[in-house]
């Protein structure tokens, strides 16, 4: 079969953004692995875990336009279940004395390896996502923010109080530290691909249509709650993997407050801020936002620790600078750094945006601006409020 | 529509009276009259503060669709102002605190939210988080060098805080019920602010413009309401309310810390949602009821149950958001009132039947 340019280019165009983003991850991994010390190694691991969460958020919030504070709850579930199933049986017998019997008989003998543990953790997170999908998919705007926040508070409160299963505020003992830079980089790359594939799939396309104009999407037969539920569940799995990886990194010590609003690095708000700063509606935005925030924060943090030219800023400056930069970025570019666009094809850099293939044209129509090559028919059929 | 207004006020008052009355009754039965009334009065003064905060949140939410998470930091700023001016006498302290908090609120609008007026609610929300984060970090690191100037230690953990005035917090007994002047002051101030807000919203030009902007911001602009003016006014009013709430809260607690605003904000936020952020009275009522309930749970339940109570409270929050998005006590949905009315209407027919 002869490969003509007409046949290859659309495929290459579609594969281009995830390839670029994945190669960015590979380059980061290679640089840190060969040149970085233990400090940069830990920073990179943390960044890739954050990247997974941001990608999970992008799959749900970015495509549906519904805000979520609750994804870190999936992270907590992934972390706890993965840890419980991978800690050696001998240690579990001493550390979980009060675990109820209906959990004991299958949790205690379980001794999964790293990959199985991660998948099991993500599986439990997916189950939680399925259970919580029903109320969440009916909501939008601030109501959705509140409901997802409530999920986060409920899971945090459960982790905090149910010390028989989670050891409450005490640290975990004997969690195998199996997370490596390579493992998180590979998972991050997988999820870049997955997020992109979802965005391009028919499910993602319907969801994006409902984001741009919910009534118009409904009118052409998009079942908005079902599409949202699919994205919610997928993002639950992604963030669950991030949690499981987190549990086995950094010495295997974690507690309920790691998955909540706490002082210092606030993971709930930071991941949302990364997504919004990068540009919610594109996978590129998620990756760019994550890199942008991490680089700025860690640069100032290094300055704070090491000093530069004899000048050392007071402790805590990095947090303040981060908040300030977030603020300035949001004011200067409310649509995010990427303005919701993907990595452009090399020859498209200077061209105005054009309807590259028909699927984007459909999205454009829902947004209310007709594609350039069609007569300007009014797309705003649904009455605005 | 004055008729609607009166019904709204009536409904809100009934909605306020019914749960409070039930609560007092329950407590008096369980704990005995004196202690029951004691708990209730204490809870009411606690709930009043959250009623004020929730109302401030609801005002901003109504006018510009902003869920302002930096609101807690206004309380924090108020707390620090009180701490720095603690030797200036109580009058000076009160005036300076209210002025500083109001100015900060206006500044917040000018620097952070004015450039983003046309942005999506999500961007606004994240911006308010960033503002909150920045102000908190400012307090932790003390970039302005205030601590040195005022001979205090900031950013080094908990500190002494504002010494309560003995004449204000001293409790005196009325028939076995202990009351302090502060509690009485909290009730008076809350009622005064609620009244002032009602008069402002009903009887003044600014109030009309604010209500119009809450209904439909673009339409209000079309008929000549100046956007900058209305939004600045809303921020000033909420700043004023936050200043007063900070004063009352700190006089009660005495503690000062960079993250002190988070707890009250959280309660006010959830309470506002339960009550319905769409209306000021609904939100205030929601904040009030949640504050009262939390205070009573804290005081009367054993520790373990109290912890899981928060969990169930948030399950209830999800339920409310899904099934009763206007809020439980909101004026339009008026669940409490409608239940009450239904009961009253059925009473003659259902006489003798089990309730």
DSSP one-letter string for B100-155: HHHHHHHHHIIIIISTTTTS-HHHHHHHHHHHHHHHHHHHHHTTT-HHHHTT---S
Quick check: helix, strand or coil at residue B333?
coil
**Three-state DSSP class for A311?**
strand
Contacts of A158 in chain B (CB under 8 A): 311
The alpha-carbon gap from B163 to the nearest alpha carbon of chain A, in Å, equals 26
> Chain A contacts of B321, Cβ < 8 Å?
135, 139, 143, 146-147, 150
Question: Which residues partner with B180 through β-bridges?
Answer: B171
In CATH, which of 3.30.1360, 2.60.120, 2.170.120, 1.10.3470 is domain A12-367? Answer: 1.10.3470
Closest-CA residue of chain B to A274: B126
Q: List the beta bridge partners of residue B179.
A: B172
**Shortest CA distance to B16 belongs to which of B41, B44, B42, B36?**
B44
CA distance A11 to chain B (A): 34
**pLDDT band with cut points at 50, 70 and 90 for residue A354:** low
Residue in chain B closest to A269 (alpha carbons) equals B129
- Identify the three-state secondary structure at position A381: coil
The Cα B120–Cα B126 span in angstroms is 10
State whether A157 and B321 contact (CB < 8 Å): no
Within a domain: B355: no
Give the pLDDT confidence score for residue A379 in this predicted structure: 42
Contact between chains at A331 and B67 (C-beta distance less than 8 A): no
The mean pLDDT value of chain B amounts to: 75
Q: Would you say residue B141 lies in a domain?
A: yes
Q: Give domain status of residue B230, yes or no.
A: yes
In-domain check, residue B332 = yes
Helix (H, G, I), strand (E, B) or coil at A377: coil
Dihedral, CA of residue B162, residue B167, residue B168 and residue B174, to nearest 10: 150
| Average pLDDT for B153-177 | 60
More confident residue, A340 or B336: A340
Secondary structure of residue B72 in the 3-state scheme? helix
Average of per-residue pLDDT values in chain A: 81
**CATH code of B325's domain:** 1.10.3470
Interchain CB contact of B112 with A (< 8 Å): yes
Q: Give, in degrees to the nearest 5, the angle at Cα B244 between B242 and B246.
A: 65
Q: Tokens 């997020």 identify what position?
A: A195
Please tell me the least confidently modeled range out of A19-33, A183-197, B65-79, B149-163: B149-163
The whole-angstrom separation of Cα B355 and Cα B346 is: 11
Q: How far apart are CA A251 and CA A86, in angstroms?
A: 14
Question: Touching check for B290 and chain A: CB below 8 Å?
Answer: no
Rounded Cα distance, A30 and A34, in Å: 6
**pLDDT band, very low/low/confident/very high, at B353 (cuts 50, 70, 90):** very low
Least CB–CB distance from A327: residue in B134, B262, B317 = B134
Bridge partner residues of A308 (DSSP) = A311
In a domain, B351, yes or no: no
Any residues with CB less than 8 A from the CB of A344 and at least 6 apart, and which?
A: none
Tokens representing B88 are 């200036």
Q: How far is Cα of residue A110 from the mean position of the Cα atoms in its chain? A: 29
Contact predicate B101/B78, CB 8 Å: yes
Contact B298, B43 (CB under 8 A): no
3-state secondary structure of A222: coil
pLDDT tens-digit series, residues A287-332: 999 999 999 888 888 887 777 776 777 666 777 788 788 888 888 8
Give me the helix-helix angle, A141-161 and B262-275, nearest 10°.
120
CA of A305 vs chain B CAs: smallest distance (Å): 15
Helices (H), chain B: 2-31, 33-64, 71-84, 90-108, 121-141, 146-149, 166-169, 181-203, 205-215, 217-222, 227-253, 262-275, 280-300, 303-323, 335-346
Contact A142 B133 (CB under 8 A): no
Q: What is the pTM of this model?
A: 0.77
Q: Angle, to 10 degrees, between the axis of helix B227-253 and the axis of helix B90-108?
A: 140
User: Is pLDDT above 60 for B5?
Assistant: no
Q: Contact, B279 vs B260, CB < 8 A? A: no
Contact check, Cβ <8 Å, B119/A334 = yes
Note down the domain range covering B25: 2-346
d(CA A270, CA A323): 10
B133 close to A (CB below 8 A): yes
What stretch of H or E contains A70?
none
Is B353 part of any domain? no
Tokens of B235: 């921020």
Asked whether the CA dihedral A333, A335, A340, A345 is positive or negative, the reply is negative
Count of domains forming chain B: 1
Helix (H, G, I), strand (E, B) or coil at B255: coil
Taking residues A366-377, what's their average pLDDT? 49
Burial label for A55, CB within 10 Å (0-12, 13-18, 19+), is: buried
Q: What are the pLDDT digits (tens) for B201-256?
A: 888 888 888 888 887 888 888 888 888 888 899 899 999 999 999 888 888 877 77
- Disruptive mutation site among A156, A320, A322, A328 for chain B (greatest number of B CBs within 10 Å): A320
User: Average pLDDT for residues B84-96, to the nearest whole number?
Assistant: 82
Compute the C-alpha angle B187/B192/B196, nearest 5°: 155
Confidence at residue A364, expressed as pLDDT on a 0 to 100 scale = 59
| Among B129, B136, B139, the residue to mutate for chain A (most A Cβ within 10 A) | B129
Tokens 């805080």, located at residue: B161
At B177, is the secondary structure helix, strand, or coil?
A: strand
Q: Which of A64, A164, A276, A304 to mutate to test the interface with B (most CBs of B within 10 A)?
A: A276
Q: Given CA atoms A374, A377, A378, A382 in this order, what sign does their dihedral have?
A: negative
């Amino acid at each position: 079969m002869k490969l003509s340019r007409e046949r290859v280019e659309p495929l290459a165009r579609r594969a281009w953004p995830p390839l670029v983003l994945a190669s960015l991850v590979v380059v980061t991994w290679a640089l840190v692995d060969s040149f970085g010390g233990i400090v940069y190694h830990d920073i990179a691991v943390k960044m890739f875990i954050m990247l997974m969460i941001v990608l999970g958020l992008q799959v749900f919030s970015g495509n549906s336009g519904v805000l979520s504070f609750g994804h870190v709850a999936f992270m907590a579930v992934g972390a706890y279940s993965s840890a419980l199933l991978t800690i050696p049986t001998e240690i579990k017998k001493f550390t979980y004395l009060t675990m109820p019997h209906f959990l004991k008989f299958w949790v205690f003998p379980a001794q999964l390896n790293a990959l199985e543990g991660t998948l099991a953790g993500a599986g439990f997170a997916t189950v939680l996502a399925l259970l919580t999908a029903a109320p969440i998919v009916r909501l939008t705007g601030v109501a959705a923010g509140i409901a997802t926040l409530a999920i986060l508070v409920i899971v945090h409160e459960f982790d905090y109080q149910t010390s028989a299963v989670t050891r409450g505020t005490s640290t975990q003992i004997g969690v195998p530290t199996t997370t490596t830079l390579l493992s998180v980089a590979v998972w991050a790359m997988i999820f870049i691909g997955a997020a992109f594939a979802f965005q391009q799939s028919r499910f993602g396309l319907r969801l994006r249509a409902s984001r741009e104009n919910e009534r118009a999407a409904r009118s052409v037969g998009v079942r908005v709650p079902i599409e949202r539920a699919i994205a919610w569940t997928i993002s639950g799995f992604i963030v669950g993997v991030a949690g499981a990886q987190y549990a086995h990194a950094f010495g295997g010590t974690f507690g309920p407050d790691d998955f909540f609003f706490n002082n210092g690095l606030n993971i709930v708000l930071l991941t949302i801020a990364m997504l919004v700063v990068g540009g919610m509606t594109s996978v590129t935005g998620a990756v760019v936002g994550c890199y942008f925030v991490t680089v700025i924060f860690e640069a100032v943090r290094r300055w704070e620790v090491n000093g530069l030219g004899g000048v050392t800023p007071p402790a805590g400056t990095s947090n303040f600078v981060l908040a300030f930069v977030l603020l300035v970025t949001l004011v200067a570019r409310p649509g995010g750094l990427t303005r919701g666009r993907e990595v452009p094809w090399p020859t498209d850099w200077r061209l105005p945006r054009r309807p590259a293939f028909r699927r984007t044209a459909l999205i454009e129509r829902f947004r209310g601006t007709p594609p350039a090559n069609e007569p300007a028919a009014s797309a705003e059929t649904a009455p605005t409020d | 529509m004055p008729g609607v207004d009166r019904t709204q006020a009536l409904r809100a008052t009934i909605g306020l009276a019914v749960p409070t009355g039930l609560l007092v009754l329950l407590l008096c039965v369980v704990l005995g009259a004196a202690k029951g009334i004691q708990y209730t009065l204490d809870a009411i003064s606690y709930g009043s503060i959250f009623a004020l905060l929730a109302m401030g949140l609801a005002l901003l939410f109504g006018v510009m669709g902003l869920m302002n998470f930096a609101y807690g930091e206004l309380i924090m700023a108020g707390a620090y102002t009180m701490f720095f001016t603690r030797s200036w006498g109580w009058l000076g302290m009160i005036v300076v605190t209210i002025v500083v908090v109001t100015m900060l609120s206006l500044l917040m609008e000018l620097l952070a939210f004015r450039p983003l007026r046309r942005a999506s609610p999500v961007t606004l929300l994240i911006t308010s988080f960033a503002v909150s984060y920045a102000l908190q970090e400012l307090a932790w690191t003390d970039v302005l060098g205030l601590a040195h100037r005022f001979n205090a230690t900031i950013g080094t953990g908990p500190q002494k805080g504002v010494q309560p005035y003995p004449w204000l917090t001293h409790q005196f007994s009325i028939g076995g019920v202990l009351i302090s002047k502060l509690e009485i002051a909290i009730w008076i101030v809350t009622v005064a602010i609620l009244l002032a807000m009602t008069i402002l919203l009903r009887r003044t030009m600014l109030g009309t413009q604010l209500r119009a902007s809450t209904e439909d911001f673009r339409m209000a602009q079309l008929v000549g309401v100046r956007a900058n003016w209305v939004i600045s006014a809303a921020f000033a009013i909420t700043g004023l309310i936050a200043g007063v709430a900070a004063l009352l809260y700190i006089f009660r607690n005495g503690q000062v810390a960079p993250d002190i605003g988070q707890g009250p904000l959280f309660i006010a936020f959830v309470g506002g949602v339960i009550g319905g952020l769409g209306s000021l009275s609904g939100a205030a009522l929601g904040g009030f009821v949640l504050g009262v309930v939390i205070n009573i749970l804290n005081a009367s339940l054993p520790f373990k149950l109290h912890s899981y109570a928060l969990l169930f409270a948030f399950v209830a929050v999800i339920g409310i958001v899904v099934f009763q998005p206007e809020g439980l006590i909101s004026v339009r949905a008026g669940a409490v009132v409608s239940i009450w009315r239904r009961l009253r209407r059925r009473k003659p027919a259902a006489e003798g039947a089990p309730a």
